[in-house]
Chains A and B, each alone.
Chain A
Amino acid sequence: MTISDAGQYATAAGLVERTAAAYVSGVPELPADDGLFGPASVTWKISGDLTGPVAGLRSLIMQALHPLAMAGVDQHSGWREDPVGRLAATSAYVTTVSFGERATAERAAARVRRVHTRVTGVDGVTGRRYEASDPALLLWVHAALVESTVTVRRLLGTPLTAQDADRYVAEMVVAAELVGVPAGMVPASMAELDAYIESVRPELRCTPAAGESMAYLLDPPGLDEEIADIWQDVRYGAIASLPDWAREMYGYTAEPLTPARREEIRQVLGVLDAVFLGEPGVLEARQRITALMRAAARPA
């Protein structure tokens, strides 16, 4: 990406504020039900981890490697004009599906499905037609998110047992179904997930659109100074946790993740998490989640 390319993108100012507001909007105050997963789920347990921003960035990097998925985003979402708004919307959706009431999650998913029906076109690189409602594309986006969450958590977060990782992948099948992927297609264990990703690899490549948009995300202009500093480590974590083949496609390099470097990144993520906690409503939202999880764990 050249400097001039950056010109067509809006700045990333307000990233923390807007993603925090999106998060708060997704956690109901007085839920009528436990939502799709519930307080005893691994999904709830896993989503409070401070590695969230790294996992989120890594998912986007992975997702962008599918030329058709990338083309859909590139040609339709208008994210260049409001990249932070687009990230916040995605973040709000993921939070709503994870913690929202069933009806709210289903409404949000219905909205996404509706939007997807209008997203069709031809990828200029491969010349292939795409439809955003194509289950194959939706599955890739889903799998990249789930796999990134587990991988980043294992690399940088608090330990996750193999059993919990499997449970998480199985729980997330519902999320894929919501956007329109038949349950039978969706990996339901880590082994299935890895096999699925391996099977898609031949289709993956770094298109110019992918390279360019990821270059923006890795070094977003206009971040508040303090956040920009932190973002360097978020970026490092995301790149270091990519599979070698994905890093090679983009031409990224990463120094090895030593235990000392890992601890440093965790500390930086802790600072970022503290800033996030300082945003209105975030602490309350987290406490609501914790309280429900503890209540669920309490013997009846």
Chain B
Amino acid sequence: MKRLLAATAAAAAGAACVAAVVVLRRAGRTRQAGRPGLRETGLRENRRLHRNLRLRRGLATIQLAARGGARYASSAPRLFAAAGEHRQQLRNDLALQTAEDVASTLGTMKGVLMKLGQMASYIDNGLSPSVRRTLSRLQDSVPPMSPELAAQVVESELGGPPEQVFASWDPEPIAAASIGQVHRAITRDGRAVAVKVQYPGIAETIAADLGNVALLRRMLKVTAPSQDVDALLGELRERVLEELDYRREADNQRLFADYYDGHPTIVIPAVVDELSTRRVVTSELADGARFADLASWSQSERDLAAETIYRFVFRSLYELHAFNGDPHPGNYLFHGGGRVTFLDFGLVRRFTEVELEPLMQMARYLCVEHDPEAFRRNLEKAGFLRAGAPLSTEQIVEHMALFYDTVRESRPLTMTGDYSSAVVRRFFDVRSPVTTYAQIPRSYVILQRINLGLFGLLGELTATANWRAIAEEIWPFVLGPPTTPIGEAEVAWRTRHPVTLAGPAAAGARAAG
């Protein structure tokens, strides 16, 4: 188990700009020749699709999804050789009926393990098969609440039974959330909504278990170097504790929804404030294709979806100073033409200007100014690398370059599984001679997660784009002109969001430059 959690922690530990730095301490010996997994390709003809994209804007109708809670249903066939009615009965029988059932399923560290496991669950290469199995089994082991139990939570949070609070309420959950489940409903003013309901008592249980710092530290200690364990543990505890209060999630979702309001391809469901509390969060219901469905979509559609995800991640970081820390494939819905709905803002990390600035400068000096010494100074400034380490700057740049490979040169590149694997492998390579001089400052722990996750997702989509050109549009120290149809479509939205141009991040960059 220690091994398990250590791997989890390492996976969750410490980003591309940031990943690069962290990798210093884990980085391998010799850099592979070339760019692992990156393929050069020609530009794609996407004009027609992009016209469609504009047409679809605003046409995305919100429908009641007919999709069942896939996870619940899918585990049933393994239990009995029964189908149909029997399976439904089984699902009902396994449902959590009381707060005591919740405690016995998710109490005594299981909820905490599940949360930590979830943080690493989308990374294939960093975890051994047995660790992955244990973590995924743990997730499978949590059944949904019975309709009665979910109704009790709604009643105690919203002041009335769901049938009264909502015009229509579907007692069957449509999806599992890590510490709750999602129900469809229609509000009294006629909006179709998704209502996330938290398991009763779970917040208290997890908070109590997170209090056993000694056990957590013991579990995390094995592979994470000792100087990192406390920083890591502190950050993980804080983030998990935040996730327990849905009001915080609602605040974050509002922040993103407001910012991306009117964006041509990024869709954030609006929060219904009056139906959101500590344990219940209600937002507009979104429907769309799942990540797995993209496998059957055309490559040009996949490229567009990937571009939107990429823009979302880096605009959020550089302009909103916020990072959605859960790039789980289940947190996206795809609508074609590059439109993507982003779900689940439970794990958002907001950054101060001071925290962000060195990251920005690192990208700037490595990729734009080509000034390795300044790059190194910023590594040190951010706290990733101990000042005065007896390492040549060349050696450092050599190890880090892999993480910037997609943005070092302006040309179309294809992300592949090989590339994301190479990134993860280098990240987990503990034999680096520079380990002694590197560390992960606590503020950046979560960034690491997103970066590894992002590379994994884009690699799975085998997405092609000129990532550098897109990055230049977003980098506050470049603020380049639109380079793709989505970029052009963004212009109208951007003029309504002047924060992009006059935001603190851009100001910081100018001051530092």
Residues of A within 8 A of B (CB): 29-30, 50, 158, 225-227, 229-230, 263-264, 266-275, 277-278, 282-284, 286-288, 290-291, 294-295, 298
Contact = CB atoms under 8 A, between A and B. Distances in A.
Contacts of B80: 29-30, 288
B113 to A, nearest CB: 5
A282 B134 CA distance: 11
Interface residues of B, number: 38
Interface string B116-140: 0000000000000010011101101
A272 B80 CA distance: 26
Interface in B396-428: none
Contacts of A268: 109, 215
A229 B94 contact: no
A282 B140 CA distance: 12
Nearest to A291: B93
B109 A274 contact: yes
Nearest to B81: A30
B94 A290 contact: yes
B108 A226 contact: no
Given A287-B94, A288-B80, A271 B215 contact: yes
Nearest to B1: A226
Contacts of A283: 137, 140-141
Contacts of B4: 226, 275
A270 B110 contact: yes
A294 B94 contact: yes
A226 B2 contact: yes
B108 A275 contact: no
Nearest to A272: B1
Contacts, number: 91
A273 B1 CA distance: 10
B48 interface: no
Contacts of B104: 158
Contact of B1 (A29, A230, A286, A290): A230
21 contacts: A29-B80, A30-B80, A158-B104, A225-B2, A264-B214, A267-B108, A270-B209, A271-B215, A273-B108, A273-B110, A274-B1, A274-B109, A274-B113, A277-B138, A278-B134, A282-B137, A283-B137, A287-B75, A290-B94, A291-B79, A294-B94
A295 B93 contact: yes
Given A225-B3, A229-B2, A274 B79 contact: no
Interface in B77-118: 78-81, 89-90, 92-94, 97, 100, 104, 107-110, 113
A251 to B, nearest CB: 28
A288 B135 CA distance: 20
A288 B104 CA distance: 17
Interface in B188-224: 208-209, 212, 214-215, 218-219, 222
Nearest to B216: A267
Contacts of B113: 271, 274
Contacts of A230: 1
Contacts of A284: 78-79
Contacts of B212: 263-264, 267
Given A225-B3, A227-B1, A230-B1, A274 B93 contact: no
Contact of A278 (B89, B138, B215): B138
A230 B222 CA distance: 14
Contacts of B90: 291
B263 to A, nearest CB: 41
Contacts of A225: 2-3, 222
Contacts of B214: 264
B213 to A, nearest CB: 11
Contacts of A277: 134, 137-138, 141
A29 B80 CA distance: 7
Contact of B3 (A226, A264, A272, A288): A226
Contacts of B93: 290-291, 294-295, 298
B218 A270 contact: no
Contacts of B222: 225
A152 to B, nearest CB: 15
Contact of A287 (B1, B79, B109, B130): B79
B1 A271 contact: yes
B108 A50 contact: yes
A158 B102 CA distance: 13
The 6 closest A-B pairs by CB, nearest first: A270-B108, A278-B134, A294-B93, A270-B109, A226-B2, A291-B93
Contacts of A282: 137
A267 B207 CA distance: 13
A227 B89 CA distance: 37
Given A226-B3, A278-B134, 17 more contacts: A30-B81, A226-B1, A267-B209, A267-B215, A270-B109, A270-B209, A271-B108, A271-B219, A275-B4, A277-B141, A278-B138, A284-B78, A284-B79, A287-B75, A288-B80, A294-B93, A294-B97
Contact of A274 (B81, B89, B97, B138): B138
Contacts of A298: 93
A283 B89 CA distance: 18
A98 B89 CA distance: 24
A49 B402 CA distance: 49
Nearest to B78: A284
B503 to A, nearest CB: 44
A50 B90 CA distance: 23
Contacts of A295: 89, 93
A295 B97 CA distance: 13
Contact of B94 (A30, A227, A266, A291): A291
A158 B93 CA distance: 21
A278 B81 CA distance: 22
A229 B108 contact: no
B381 to A, nearest CB: 38
B383 to A, nearest CB: 31
A284 B113 CA distance: 20
